[in-house]
Amino acid sequence: MAVIMDGKALSEKLKNNLKNEVEGLKNKGKNPCLAVIIVGDNPASKIYVNNKKKSCEALGIKSLEYALPADTTEEKLLTLISSLNEDESVDGILCQLPLPSHICEKNVINSISPEKDVDAFHPENVGHIMIGDYTFLPCTPAGVMEILKEYDIDVSGKNCVVVGRSNIVGKPMTMLLLKENATVTVCHSRTQNLCEFTKKADVLVSAVGKPNLITADMIKENAVVIDVAINRLESGKLCGDVDFEAVKEKASYITPVPGGVGPMTIATLMKNTVTAAKKKV
Cβ neighbours around 89 below 10 Å, total: 13
What are the start-end ranges of the H helices in the chain?
7-27, 43-59, 74-86, 105-111, 123-130, 139-150, 170-179, 194-198, 244-247, 261-278
Please say whether the dihedral angle defined by the alpha carbons of residues 174, 265, 145 and 259, taken in this order, is positive or negative: negative
Active-site pick, 6, 15, 52, 227: 52
Active-site pick, 6, 15, 91, 96: 96
Q: Which residues contact 75 (CB under 8 A, 6 or more apart)?
A: none
119 is a catalytic site residue: yes
192 is a catalytic site residue: no
Residue 17 phi, psi dihedral angles, 5° rounding: -65, -40
Active-site pick, 6, 91, 117, 119: 119
154 is a catalytic site residue: no
Distance (Å, rounded) from C-alpha 131 to C-alpha 162?
A: 19
The amino acid sitting at 129 is I
* Residues classed as catalytic: 52, 96, 119
